[in-house]
Amino acid sequence: MINIYKKIGWFIKEQWKTYIVMLFLLLTIAAISLAPAYVLGLSIDTIVSGGLNRSSLWMLVGLLVLLPVARYLISFTYNHLSHKTAQMLSFKLRKKYLSHLFDMDSKFFEQYEKGDLISRVTADLDAITQAATSLLEGIIFNVGVIIFAIGVMGFSISWNLTLISISIMPFGLTILNVIRYNKRKYIKRHREIYADMTEKVLESVEGQKAIRAYVQEDNDLIKQNKAIDADIESWRYIVRYENWFNPLFEVIYGIAYVLAFIFGVIFIIRQEMTLGGLITFVSYVGMLYGPIISISTIFTQINNATISIDRYDEIMKSLPVVHDEEDSIPILNFNEIHFKNVTFKYPFDKVPVIKNITFTIKRGETIGIVGPTGAGKSTLIRQLLREFNVTDGEIYIDSDKIEHYKIEDIRNLVGYVPQSHMLFRRKVDENIMIGNPKANHEELDKAVKIADFEKDLNYLTNGLQTMVGESGVSLSGGQKQRLSIARALIKNPAILILDDSLSAVDAQTEDTIIEHLKAFREGKTNIIVAHRFSAVRDADKIFVLENGKITQQGTHDELLRQDGWYKHQYIQQMTMK
């Protein structure tokens, strides 16, 4: 519990006034909850002694009516503050978490699965929020009731009977605490299995097109059921574990109740207490049952919250490998980019994808990159996005290494159209404007025209206002590509990278887009990765990548005069036409 409040102590310090008010309200509620038993005992003694009259009757009835009304009003105020505080904490934790995710690099997202990251900001965050609010209520209220009850029982009735009745409780609490600590490993394992299940469900939802296309619904459902069963079984194990040991508190309560009744009768026989006193005392013992059982639940919640705060904290303590330095410098434009002996290996791969690559790109050039599948073309050009640090060698922009520039500035130089197109459940124009939220209608129309997306608007229900389905399910492959190109173009970047982004369009559309790029991006740098040579034949320089190395470079005509991969592949493509 101390660990939990250490890690969210910043929030408690922020809201200390609210927590003090909540503490006062809880203690008041705990005190009021004990009052009815006292009034009941007082009423019995008044009746037995013959002291009941109209005045005392109205006083007793008034107290019995006033107490629940007062408790309701105070509880209402407390619940309002508690829920407000919980929502505020949840908002701040989620905001910090999501902001931190945006700061992380690609290595981090290769290390953690989507389902795991989602479970940490949902189930784990709920447990943390509960620890900061509900657990405070549970501990203070229940412990408060127990302390107040013991105090009233001792001071107003009998300390001897009180000590006899509660003597067994510390032993039960100690045993339960040991059990709680041992159960923590099972809770942690359950959270991991839950994350795996979430990942499987996400995978099935995202891949539903492929699943249906290959008639794999039944097989996928079997895998989902296995993941769900594993989650249920891990939770069932925890429940069985709790079922064995949680009734321990009920046994403790039962023993305390029997001790109170037996020794209370003895004390009445000895005339050491009244019948009303015994009834009040037994009522207080009965009132201890709820708080004691609640403490059992609280221990479980503390266990869950401890694991959750550790899982949340693990993400928040992760630091990106690719990050700005204190002396990082800004950049708005460039004259030359130079790759010098660049080698790159993905963090979890054994061998490099690109090896000892050297070349230069001048501002305003159009560069073509071609080569066999898996040669490392996408990996090469993605080095300009600073997703990873290169394994060996250097990348220079003008006279400085790329690491010396601010990451945000580097990425602002680039308009990147990847092979896989991420579209959002928004309108077409909103998807395009992601590239430049401040763009005006003229810039939007220009980007649509250059990407040759203009002709598609007639086929969309509401043109640019048409809602794009999740992941772009309502658009064809070619439409997705052209929308993504328009998104990059509206940014008007210094460097436009088309990573095999014309593969889903026909030859005529490809020619139109290439012609538009020539006309509208004169003086700006374009890098085109392609399998069809028609997309790169007019490039100023073409690099041929084979097995992670540049094996040829030159213009289209120069490469055709060389006996190499480019010439052989070009002839094959022409023959297929």
Please indicate, yes or no, whether residues 288 and 355 belong to a single structural domain of this protein.
no
Q: How far apart are CA 496 and CA 373, in angstroms?
A: 22
Please indicate, yes or no, whether residues 371 and 500 belong to a single structural domain of this protein.
yes
Please indicate, yes or no, whether residues 419 and 561 belong to a single structural domain of this protein.
yes
Please indicate, yes or no, whether residues 391 and 522 belong to a single structural domain of this protein.
yes
Domain presence at residue 163: yes
**3-class state of residue 470 by DSSP:** helix
- Print burial letters for 406-433: b (CB count within 10 Å at least 16), e (below 16): ebeebeebbbbbbeebebeeebbbebbb
What does the CA dihedral 526, 532, 537, 539 come to, rounded to 10 degrees? 10
pLDDT at res. 271: 81
Q: How many CB atoms lie within 10 A of CB 522?
A: 8
Query: Which residues have a Cβ under 8 Å from the Cβ of 527 and sit 6 or more positions away?
Result: 361, 366, 367, 369, 381, 495, 496, 497, 498
Among residues 285, 317, 349, which one ends one of the domains?
317
Q: How far apart are CA 445 and CA 447, in angstroms?
A: 6
- Print burial letters for 109-148: b (CB count within 10 Å at least 16), e (below 16): eeebbebbbbbbbebbbebbbbbbbbbbbbbbbbbbbbeb
Residues 38, 152 contacting (CB under 8 angstroms): yes
pLDDT at res. 555: 93
The model carries a pTM of 0.69
Query: Which residues have a Cβ under 8 Å from the Cβ of 275 and sit 6 or more positions away?
Result: 44, 45, 48, 268
Among residues 317, 352, 372, which one ends one of the domains?
317
Please indicate, yes or no, whether residues 360 and 302 belong to a single structural domain of this protein.
no
Please indicate, yes or no, whether residues 384 and 260 belong to a single structural domain of this protein.
no
Domain presence at residue 496: yes
The tokens for 121 are 């900001």
pLDDT at res. 554: 93
Domain presence at residue 348: yes
- Looking at 289-420, which runs of residues are DSSP E strands? 336-344, 354-362, 366-370, 392-397, 400-401, 414-417
pLDDT at res. 576: 64
Domain presence at residue 324: no
The burial of 529, by beta-carbon neighbours within 10 Å (0-12 exposed, 13-18 middle, 19 or more buried), is given as buried
The burial of 51, by beta-carbon neighbours within 10 Å (0-12 exposed, 13-18 middle, 19 or more buried), is given as exposed
Helix (H) / strand (E) containing 553: strand 549-554
Handedness of CA 65, 66, 69, 71 (dihedral sign): negative
Residues 27, 144 contacting (CB under 8 angstroms): yes
Per-residue pLDDT 10s for the chain (577 aa) are 666 777 777 888 888 888 888 888 888 887 787 677 667 666 766 776 666 677 777 777 787 788 888 888 988 998 888 888 888 888 888 889 988 988 888 888 888 888 788 888 887 888 888 777 766 667 777 777 777 777 777 777 778 887 877 776 666 666 666 666 666 666 777 777 877 787 777 777 767 766 776 677 778 788 888 888 887 777 776 676 666 666 666 677 677 778 878 888 888 888 877 777 777 777 777 777 667 667 766 766 777 778 788 888 889 998 888 888 888 899 988 999 999 999 999 888 889 999 999 999 999 999 999 999 889 999 999 899 888 889 999 999 998 999 999 999 999 999 998 887 778 888 888 889 988 989 899 999 999 999 888 888 888 888 888 888 766 667 878 888 888 899 999 999 999 999 888 877 788 888 888 888 888 888 899 999 988 888 898 899 999 999 999 999 999 999 999 988 999 988 887 776 5
Instruction: Tell me which amino acid residue 363 is.
Output: R
Domain presence at residue 466: yes
Please indicate, yes or no, whether residues 164 and 300 belong to a single structural domain of this protein.
yes
Residue 465 belongs to a domain with what CATH number? 3.40.50.300
Residue 201 belongs to a domain with what CATH number? 1.20.1560.10
376: left (phi over 0), alpha (psi -120 to 50) or beta: left
pLDDT at res. 419: 80
Please indicate, yes or no, whether residues 294 and 416 belong to a single structural domain of this protein.
no
Domain presence at residue 73: yes
Q: How many CB atoms lie within 10 A of CB 79?
A: 12
- In eight-state DSSP terms, residue 154 is I
Q: How far apart are CA 401 and CA 412, in angstroms?
A: 17
State CA 383 to chain mean position distance. 27
pLDDT at res. 180: 63
Measured CA to CA in angstroms, residue 278 lies from 64, 103, 168, 290, 379 at distances of 20, 65, 20, 20, 81
pLDDT at res. 184: 64
Number of domains in the chain: 2
Please indicate, yes or no, whether residues 90 and 200 belong to a single structural domain of this protein.
yes
Please indicate, yes or no, whether residues 223 and 359 belong to a single structural domain of this protein.
no
Domain presence at residue 539: yes
Please indicate, yes or no, whether residues 229 and 367 belong to a single structural domain of this protein.
no
Please indicate, yes or no, whether residues 360 and 468 belong to a single structural domain of this protein.
yes
Domain presence at residue 326: no
State the residue for tokens 């490993």: 185
Instruction: Tell me which residue range forms the domain holding 131.
Output: 2-317
